[in-house]
Amino acid sequence: MTQDFSFDWAIAPETPETFFAEYFEKKPLVIKRGQPGYYSDLLSCAEIDRVVSTMGLTHPEVTVTRADGNITPAEYAYETGQIDPVRVNQLHADGATVILSGLHERLPQLANYCRAMEAAMSARMQTNIYMTPPGNQGFNPHYDSHDVLVLQVSGSKEWRIYGTPVELPLKDQEFERGMDVGEEVMRFILEPGDAIYIPRGLAHDAVATDETSLHITTGLMFRTWADVLAEAVIAKAHREPSMRRALPPGYANHGTDLDAFDDTFAELVALVADANVGKLLGGLREDFLTGRVPRVEGQMAQLAALDSLTMDSRVGARPHLVYGLHDDEDGQTRLVALGAEIVLPSFAREAMEFCITTSEFRLGDMGGDLDDDGKMVLARRLVREGLMQVL
């Protein structure tokens, strides 16, 4: 089984090209494989048992719920927030769903999966793990305010798809109890090794069949064009005093004609029309790159391996790196990746890009124009920064 955990792997045999052209933000994609062990390298019921029972988790890292919503944290957690694993497991045995939020921060394989997804999506990823007893469900019909990709690890669930109460909702447009979700439009069984993509805003629910269900819900936390517009307003306001003026004194008083300010507002909106979109997106990209903190399994051993590094050593880039590479006017190249910044002379750019995009190579065969001493210095620096590894 692959250890790559790439987006291509997650949705195979569907292709990313078809996914983005036909399904992304448009309609659900159901992937039926007939390969029960497809996601078994990511997670298992035994691993969930170990995590819940031995890792000293807290609420809301662990939430226990039923569709009727009548379980409170006091029933399975101490006043400190730490969960009581005995009570969690008993509630699960009695029909409750156990949800583990953010388990990708604790399990390396889930962290690697999220990093691979982030590289494909340019968006932050999160996981929620759902373990549901036979014949039960954790939630009534609802929609999410973020896209989800569900990977069925073991057991099975019957899924039902309804309407779209809010098309592509923002984070503050969360589902509210009592919303009309529309008529059921799809029903199917998700079996081990299957997957489903659900766009945000599309209502759904799922019920475990006659066996315990374990699935991974991947939350795709995209930035939107509304975020870009908001950034444009803030950027322009730093340069335009008229956008920084106070609202008219007394505008909130009864009887004030608020429509009288239409022309003023239109003038301010026009000021944003010439915003530099590339610069705005560049700022969001920088935030994304610097916010991806390192997940560098085995880094202690990597540093120890530097003592025996030679020109014949096999090395390669850490998988699923997302990076920015920029040349400055002063003859230097700036590399931003894994939340860090590395500045080197511009003559090292070609070699540096080769190192962080090539999965395996002999150190002496490094691309670029560096001599052997330069190759060794660069490789050691990139290994120390967690961007390369000795294989």
Lowest model confidence (mean pLDDT) among 130-134, 160-164, 300-304, 336-340: 336-340
- Where do the domains of the chain lie? 7-221, 225-249+256-276, 299-390
* Pairing of β 157-161 and β 204-208: antiparallel
Give the up-direction half-sphere exposure of residue 102: CA atoms within 13 A in the CB hemisphere: 8
| CATH code of domain 7-221 | 2.60.120.650
Query: Which pLDDT belongs to residue 2?
Result: 44
Query: Which pLDDT belongs to residue 278?
Result: 94
Q: Are 205 and 115 in contact (CB under 8 A)?
A: no
Question: Going edge to edge, which strands form the sheet with 186-190?
Answer: 186-190, 157-161, 204-208
Confidence of residue 16 (pLDDT cuts 50, 70, 90): very high
Average pLDDT value for residue range 353-359:
96
User: What is residue 92's three-state secondary structure?
Assistant: helix
Confidence of residue 3 (pLDDT cuts 50, 70, 90): low
| Per-residue pLDDT at 151 exceeds 70 | yes
C-beta contacts of 378-383 below 8 A and 24+ residues apart: 378/344, 378/348, 378/351, 378/352, 379/309, 379/315, 379/355, 380/306, 380/309, 381/342, 382/342, 382/352, 382/355, 382/356, 383/302, 383/303, 383/305, 383/306, 383/309, 383/315
CATH class of 299-390: alpha beta
Percent above pLDDT 70 for the chain: 99
Mean model confidence pLDDT for the chain: 94
Q: Are 217 and 142 in contact (CB under 8 A)?
A: no
Q: What digits encode the pLDDT tens for the residues 236-293?
A: 999 999 999 999 999 999 999 999 999 999 999 999 999 999 999 999 999 999 888 8
Q: Are 55 and 106 in contact (CB under 8 A)?
A: yes
| Per-residue pLDDT at 110 exceeds 80 | yes
Q: Are 218 and 11 in contact (CB under 8 A)?
A: no
pTM over 0.75: yes
Average pLDDT value for residue range 195-216:
96
Q: Are 241 and 200 in contact (CB under 8 A)?
A: no
Same fold, 7-221 and 299-390: no
Nearest residue to 150 via CA among 210, 57, 216:
216
Percent above pLDDT 90 for the chain: 91
